[in-house]
Amino acid sequence: MDVLTDVLGSMRLTGELFCRTELTAPWGVEVPAIGGAAFHVLDRGNAWMVVEGEEHPISLTGGDLIIFTRSRRHVLVDSLEAVTVPLAELVKLKGEGNYTLNYGGGGSHTTLICGRFNIQDGGKHNLFASLPPILHVKGEQGRTIEWLETTLKFMAWEADSTLPGSQSIVAHLTEILFIQAIRSWISSQNDDAKGWLTALSDQQIGEALRCIHKNPEHPWTVESIGVKVGMSRASFAAKFRQLVGETPHQYLTSWRMQLASNWLTNSSLKLSEIAEKVGYFSEVSFKRAFKKNIGIPPGAFRRQARL
C-alpha cells in the first residue's frame, strides 16, 4: 500500500496551469492570495520573491520551483526596486485561449510558469501541515532538475496543443509536479525531521501507517499495531506521536473520517455501509464519531456536499 498515493487520492488533488510568462527586465508582478496551493517555476533567468509575512525576500534562479502550501500574497520581481502590476492585468494581455503572455521593458529575459493545485478535501488530513508554508525545490546550478524539465516540456507542448484531451493531460502533469516536489522535499530531510511525510520513511512507523491505510476497518488498538510492527505498546505510542504529531488513535480516527467524507460525497452508500467500511460496528457510534471530528452529522455533511 502506497500511503502517499492513498492520501492524495482521497484528497482529490487536481492541478491547473495558468500561463507561461515571457518577461523582460524591468518587470514586477503582484500575486494575490488565491485558493489552492499556488506554484511558480522559474524556467530561466533570475528573480526575487517577496512574501507577505516573511522577513526576507527569496532569491530565485533558473530551474527553481516554488509551491505555496498555504495561500499567501506575494510579489515576483526582477529586482527589489521594480514597479509591480497586478497579476489580473497581465492575464488580460494573454487573451482567450492563449497559454503564453509577454510582458516587460525589453531587457534580460526570464520565463515564469504559474499554476495551482486544488484540494477537494471533504475531511481532514495533515499532509499540508507536514509541509513548510513555502516549498522551495531548487534547480541544479541554474538548470531545471531533470524530472521537472521533462514534465515542463510535456506540459508546454500540451498547453499549446489543439488536440482533444490536452487540458486533461496538462492537469495530470501538474499533479505529477506536486508529487515529485513532495518526493524531493522528503529526500532532503535529515534524520531528525518530524511530521507525517517524514514518518513514512521510518521502517516501523511507516509500516504502521500502511497497516492503517490498508485495513481502516480493522479494530486496531495501539497494542495490536505495535505488535504488527515489532514494538511494545509504550515504545510504539511514543515514537508514533513523536514522528507523526498525534497519537495512533487520533490518526486512525482522522483517516477513517477522511474516507467516510469521501464516500458521503461521492457514493450512494448507506450510512450503515460506510460505518462498517471505516471500522464502526454500529451506525450510531459512527454518527457520533463523525459529528465529533467533522462538526456536523454525516447526513447533513452529505446534503451540504451535494448542493
Q: pLDDT tens for residues 32-87?
A: 987 778 899 888 899 999 999 899 999 999 888 899 988 889 999 999 999 999 98
pLDDT at 97: 62
pLDDT at 247: 95
**DSSP alpha helix (H) spans, the chain:** 3-11, 87-94, 146-159, 166-188, 196-199, 203-214, 222-228, 233-244, 248-266, 271-277, 283-294, 298-305
Rounded mean pLDDT, 18-28: 90
pLDDT at 124: 55
Asked if the model's pLDDT at residue 114 lies above 90, the reply is no
pLDDT at 277: 96
Residue 62 C-alpha from the chain's centroid: 23
The percent of residues in the chain predicted with pLDDT above 90, rounded, is 44
Asked if the model's pLDDT at residue 1 lies above 70, the reply is no
Q: Rounded to the nearest 10 degrees, how much is the dihedral formed by the CA atoms of 169, 175, 178, 184?
A: -70
pLDDT at 123: 46
pLDDT tens-place string over residues 177-214: 888 888 888 877 776 667 788 888 889 999 999 999 99
**Contact between 145 and 43 (Cβ < 8 Å):** no
pLDDT at 289: 95
**H helices then E strands: how many in the chain?**
12, 11
Asked if the model's pLDDT at residue 131 lies above 80, the reply is yes
Beta-bridge partner residues of 113: 20, 41
